[in-house]
Chain A
């Protein structure tokens, strides 16, 4: 029986030289407790008690040492190195948090990089060390553990049922239906309250999906600079520009529907089904919102007159009323009727004549 509180000698597996050396070293030290294990003092008392009637010790289920101690020592060094690296990376994380100034975009980028890298390395080393520990040092055996039945003994269950029933009677919950029913009634509104929250998903769109901010006489202004345009300003065939209704430059909700592109063509290029009465001087205006799922569709090839959607490659023919040539969009881009006002600027004749953007259930 070892005085240091180790397992009895006869139960120690793998009697390598290493274990013996540790035993001898342990003789000179006072017993100490390893974190997370039973107190060695208790173990000492338990194991040192020489009781003549004590049952013979149960054989170990798990080996105390891995089979190859040299390999285990190597794995131990690797794991310890990884844990030290994890610790250093953890300190680096704290240092990055304290040391890297923020408050400008560039500095935040650098701070994020340092924080992310150090935390990643710390967790990675910790995880790798743990996995190597488990795989190289811990035993890999299958154990069958016998469990007691989960149900309580019959006596306990009867006693509990009786206590419950007596409690229910003593509380008067069963005898006094008025109390019981009013209590239930009191909780009903609280139970209904979450259902009411669904109301905040509204209001219903009603007809807002069918209309945009364009009105008769609304000027077309260049998106970004809000300058109105005369046909003479936009006189180069092959030209394309995004326009918005004047006065709505800060209204994102309306701009999401009203964004429009105008394209200038050479005479004779525009063909049906383009509505020629809705064009001015070979300038045609189409909705910029793709009829598929509403991406801003403005990749315009002036050689082929194709308008492409960057999201799903729907392709529209700008010379033929933006009819669909290719892709998942099922309807042409709506054409905005345009004309010029008294001052000569491009204006809308009216709103779009059909809903812009993607389909919706009630669109018809």
Chain B
């Protein structure tokens, strides 16, 4: 202790105490933050760098609608507290930046790569709270309980997204998008953040492992074979009915016509 006592009035002592305190806070924060979180203090310098890059990117491409400080404007909602998962979902599916404001934001090729998306997510996450981007092992299909995933999907998702994730219509031009191109991470993030009209399913209602099961069901269903070659969108009786009525019955009527038609007079 005499070592500390002797140096406590040293000009650098104050700085040393502040530094020690910051390191301690950093370690505690790292211990309490989920691994894989982009805002993790494990690499504080890199994270700060990401946040700064993300902020610059945000100011250039997002601030017109969402405000310079992501506080929201009449054209776009506040992004404070939406979390990294919401940003990753919107940007990686190409919905944001939006080309135009419509009833529903369409999925399109993403404008930003993985690094820029990550930086934007880090910036928004740094504004406070919100769910983090799920780690790859949180969405891995291996070991997922697909049967439970199906049960939960049919109960909570299928009424809008159709039982194989083919999507469906909502009110006033809105629609539940098809899940045919969604990655497991995007499915997980959508459940967690509830983009647009979609209700959200937090981790205490549908647990992370159950979310993984649901994502595994959606991806596994895509691989189901269509031996006849005509899936008809897999949306069930509506398209099948149209095909039967227009195609099948049309064919029968044409056949009946052909069978009963009067033969042309021989020349």
Contact = CB atoms under 8 A, between A and B. Distances in A.
Interface string B237-267: 0000000000000000001001100110010
A65 interface: no
Given A296-B159, A301-B171, A106 B225 contact: yes
Contact of B200 (A113, A222, A232, A236): A236
Contacts of A239: 194, 199-202, 205
Contacts of A113: 227-228
Interface in A155-179: none
Interface in A109-151: 109-110, 112-113, 127, 131, 135, 140
Nearest to B153: A224
B204 A302 contact: no
Nearest to B265: A140
A233 B168 contact: no
A33 to B, nearest CB: 31
A251 B132 CA distance: 38
A135 B263 contact: yes
Given A135-B263, A239-B201, A310 B156 contact: no
B196 interface: yes
Interface string A233-247: 111101111100000
Contact of A224 (B151, B200, B227, B266): B151
B160 A299 contact: yes
Contacts of A222: 205-206
Interface of B: 148, 151-152, 155-156, 159-160, 168, 170-172, 174, 176, 194, 196-202, 204-207, 210, 225, 227-228, 255, 258-259, 262-263, 266
Contacts of B258: 131
Contacts of B228: 113
Nearest to A313: B171
Contacts of A106: 225, 227
A108 B165 CA distance: 23
A323 interface: no
B266 A302 contact: no
Give chain B's interface secondary structure class.
loop
Contacts, number: 93
Provide the main secondary structure of the chain A interface: mixed
A274 interface: no
Interface in A274-321: 296, 298-304, 306, 308, 310, 315
Contacts of A359: none
Contact of A308 (B171, B201, B227): B171
Contacts of A256: none
11 contacts: A112-B227, A127-B255, A140-B263, A222-B205, A224-B155, A225-B148, A225-B210, A242-B155, A298-B156, A299-B160, A302-B194
A67 interface: yes
Given A109-B227, A234-B204, A304 B197 contact: yes
B72 to A, nearest CB: 15
Count chain A CB atoms within 10 A of each CB in B171, B262, B266 and give the residue with the most: B171
A80 interface: no
